[in-house]
């Protein structure tokens, strides 16, 4: 079960170093961009209203988040919600209107053109939905392209490119041209090109959206494997919830340029910040995502202490054999602390998709975390 290999680190900020720290980021397209980003009088207005009034598109609106070192950070939202704009603002492929972007403590916004190029050449690489390969270069030259523009000699860059080719499973395709490859293979080239410069952070903008479902699954597995092997920080854009849940340590949900919720997969499913998120996650098989933490009941009086126990991070579906096989409620531990129990009823309720009042209530209680609703 892949989800277990990527069990989320629950907290928003952990002790580990932060790779990206984004604060109050805005991106407005149009003539009045600066004014809209700074003028509080627009605060109450929806993106659609602003568009109507000023003709400007508010693509990213006052967004803040951190990406921890080694984390897979997923940004998710419907098409047009500003995901691509957001990820491009991180390396200023799109110039943000205002806000702050820190990369490993360095202020990206203050970099000159040359330093910025250095960041793109060495520290942050990107993989694109439509691959962005150079059609007149073969696979090897495409992969070596980033090294070439860094001025690395032919022999050295081919050597490096060959290493990466093996890494992404393109062996034997070196001399092919992009239009001779399937979409999946092309995206492997895109991935290899991004990896070739050995960056600290990889950005993915819906890399698998254009691929067939089966190939998409392979590629997702590939990313998971690479992350496990190399431990690189990744910012991953997708509009596909299952992909987000599969890959993301944490997930940021966007709507109309605004941040709606940040959290681990089970946080989103277990405690959606609002109806938008709830709607988003409604089709998810909760047993596959939620951990026992979300279904624990208070410890009943006189529970025998020798019964079975499970860690709170166990996904429900993995807990089913234990719980159904036990005659008594199973105890759930967070580390060494007993936080509650799970019984057959609770499990069956989840399997059947019946939501207990407590969970819905839990969602409501988190309403403070909601971004202000617009409309």
Partner 1 sequence: MAVTDFRRQFAPRPPRQRSIPRGVYAIAVALLVWFVAWRMFNGVWTLPLQSAEVTPLHLWLNEVNAWVRDNRDSNVLFVLVFDSIRIGVGAVAALFAQLFVQTDVGLQLPEIGWLGVVALVTWVAAAVGNYRVAILTAVGFTAFGVLGVFTEAMWTFALTLTAVLFSVAIGLPLGIWAGVNKRVNGILTPILDFMQTLPSFVYLAPLALLFLIGPASAVIATIIYAVPPIIRLTAHGIRSVPATIAEAADSLGVSKRQRLMTVLLPLARNSMVVGLNQTVMAALAMVTIAALIAGPGLGQLVVQALQSLNVGRAFVAGFAIVVMAIVLDRVTTAASRRAELSARHSTPLRRRRRIIALGAGLLVVAAAVYLSRSVLAAARFPAEAAVGEALGARINDVSAGFQNTFSVFTASLKDGFTIRVINPFQGLLTATPFLVVMLVILVIAVTVGGIRAAVISTICLLLIIAVGLWEDAMITLASTLIATVITMALALAVGVIMGRSDRVDRWLRPGLDAAQTMPAFVYLVPFLGLFGPSRFTAIVAAIIYAAPVAIKIIAEGIAHVSAEAVEAAQSTGASPWQTISKVQIPLAASSITLAANQGLIYVLSMVVVGGLVGGGALGYAVVAGFSQNALFGKGLAAGVAIVLLGIMLDRITQAAVARRRRIVPVTRRVRDVTAPLPVTH
Partner 2 sequence: MARTPLRRRYIAGVASVAAILLLATGCSSSLNTAAPAASGSAAKPCGTVNVAMNDWTGYTADAAVFSYVAEKKLGCTVKQSSINEQVAWQGFANGTVDVIIENWGHDDLAKTYIADQKVAVDAGPTGNVGQIGWYLPPWLAAAHPELLDWNNLNKYASQFATSESGAQGQLLDGDPSFVTNDAALVANLKLNFKVIYSGSETALIQAFRTAEKNKTWLIGYFYEPQWFISEVALKKVKLPAYTAGCDTDAAKVACDYPDYTLNKVMSAKLDKSGSPAAALVKKFNWTNDDQNLVAKYIATDKMSPEAAAQKWVDANATKVDAWLK
Binding site for partner 2 (CB under 8 A): 136-138, 140-141, 154
Q: Using CB under 5 A, pick the residue from 54, 58, 81, 84 that binds Mg ion.
A: 84
Q: Could you say whether residue 145 binds partner 1 (CB under 8 A)? A: yes
Q: Using CB under 8 A, pick the residue from 12, 149, 230, 348 that binds partner 1.
A: 149
Q: Pick between residue 167 and residue 323 the one whose CB is nearest to partner 1.
A: 167
Q: Which of residues 45-104 bind partner 1 (CB under 8 A)?
A: 88, 91, 93
Q: Pick between residue 79 and residue 337 the one whose CB is nearest to ligand ADP.
A: 79
Q: Which does 81 bind (CB under 5 to 8 A by kind): Mg ion, ligand ADP, partner 2, none?
A: ligand ADP
Q: How far is the CB of 113 from partner 2 (least distance, A)?
A: 25
Mark residue 30 as left, alpha or beta (left: phi above 0; alpha: psi -120 to 50; beta: remaining). left
Stretch that binds Mg ion, among 63-71, 81-89, 136-144, 281-289 (CB under 5 A): 81-89
Q: Which does 85 bind (CB under 5 to 8 A by kind): partner 1, ligand ADP, Mg ion, none?
A: ligand ADP
Alpha carbon separation from 113 to 91, 95, 104, 108, 198 (Å, rounded): 11, 12, 18, 11, 21
Residues that bind ligand ADP (CB under 6 A): 29, 57, 59, 77, 79-85
Q: Which does 149 bind (CB under 5 to 8 A by kind): partner 1, Mg ion, ligand ADP, none?
A: partner 1
Q: Could you say whether residue 85 binds Mg ion (CB under 5 A)? A: no
The residue among 226, 254, 150 whose CA lies nearest residue 234 is: 226
Q: Which does 29 bind (CB under 5 to 8 A by kind): partner 2, Mg ion, ligand ADP, none?
A: ligand ADP
Whether 226 contacts 218, CB under 8 Å: no
Q: Pick between residue 83 and residue 157 the one whose CB is nearest to partner 2.
A: 157
Q: Which does 82 bind (CB under 5 to 8 A by kind): ligand ADP, Mg ion, partner 1, none?
A: ligand ADP
Q: Pick between residue 167 and residue 252 the one whose CB is nearest to ligand ADP.
A: 252
Q: Which does 251 bind (CB under 5 to 8 A by kind): partner 1, ligand ADP, Mg ion, none?
A: none
Q: Pick between residue 88 and residue 286 the one whose CB is nearest to ligand ADP.
A: 88
Q: Pick between residue 77 and residue 199 the one whose CB is nearest to Mg ion.
A: 77
CB burial of residue 105 (10 Å; 0-12, 13-18, 19+):
exposed
Buried b / exposed e over 109-132, threshold 16 CB at 10 Å, is bebeeeebeebbbebbbbbbbebe
Angle ∠(84,86,92) on CA atoms, nearest 5: 100
CB atoms within 10 A of CB 281: 19
d(CA 93, CA 329) in angstroms, rounded, equals 54
What is the chain's alpha carbon radius of gyration, rounded to the nearest angstrom?
Answer: 23
Q: Could you say whether residue 294 binds partner 1 (CB under 8 A)? A: no
Q: Which does 204 bind (CB under 5 to 8 A by kind): ligand ADP, Mg ion, partner 1, none?
A: none
Q: How far is the CB of 278 from partner 2 (least distance, A)?
A: 54
Q: Which does 136 bind (CB under 5 to 8 A by kind): Mg ion, ligand ADP, partner 2, none?
A: partner 2
Binding site for Mg ion (CB under 5 A): 84
Binding site for partner 1 (CB under 8 A): 88, 91, 93, 116-122, 125-126, 128-136, 145-146, 148-150, 177, 190, 193, 197, 203
């Amino acid at each position: 079960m892949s989800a277990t290999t990527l069990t989320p680190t629950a907290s928003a900020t952990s002790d580990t170093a932060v790779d990206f720290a984004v604060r109050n980021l805005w991106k407005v397209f149009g003539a009045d961009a600066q004014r809209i980003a700074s003028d509080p009088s627009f605060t109450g207005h929806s993106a659609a209203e602003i568009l109507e009034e000023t003709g400007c598109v508010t693509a990213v609106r006052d967004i803040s988040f951190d990406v921890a070192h080694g984390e897979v950070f997923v940004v998710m939202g419907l098409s047009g919600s500003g995901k691509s704009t957001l990820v491009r603002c991180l390396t200023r492929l799109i110039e943000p209107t205002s806000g702050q972007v820190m990369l490993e403590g360095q202020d990206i916004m203050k970099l000159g053109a040359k330093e910025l190029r250095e960041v793109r050449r060495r520290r942050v690489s990107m993989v694109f939905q439509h691959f962005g390969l150079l059609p007149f270069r073969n696979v090897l030259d495409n992969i070596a392209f980033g090294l070439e523009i860094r001025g690395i000699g032919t022999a050295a860059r081919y050597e490096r490119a060959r290493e990466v080719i093996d890494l992404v499973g393109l062996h034997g395709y070196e001399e092919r041209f992009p239009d001779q490859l399937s979409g999946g293979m092309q995206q492997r080239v895109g991935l290899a090109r991004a990896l070739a410069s050995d960056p600290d952070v990889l950005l993915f903008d819906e890399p698998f959206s254009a691929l067939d479902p089966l190939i998409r699954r392979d590629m997702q597995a590939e990313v998971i494997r690479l992350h496990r092997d190399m431990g690189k920080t990744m910012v991953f854009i997708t509009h596909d919830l299952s992909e987000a849940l599969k890959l993301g340590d944490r997930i940021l949900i966007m709507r109309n340029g605004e941040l709606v919720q940040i959290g681990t997969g089970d946080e989103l499913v277990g405690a959606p910040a609002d109806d938008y998120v709830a709607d988003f996650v409604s089709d998810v098989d909760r047993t596959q995502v939620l951990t026992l933490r979300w279904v624990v009941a208070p410890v009943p009086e006189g529970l025998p202490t020798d019964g079975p126990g499970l860690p709170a991070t166990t996904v429900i579906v993995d807990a089913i054999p234990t719980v159904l096989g036990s005659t008594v409620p199973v105890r759930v531990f967070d580390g060494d602390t007993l936080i509650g129990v799970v019984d057959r009823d609770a499990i069956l309720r989840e399997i059947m998709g019946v939501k207990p009042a407590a969970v819905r209530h839990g969602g409501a209680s988190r309403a403070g975390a909601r971004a202000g609703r617009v409309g």
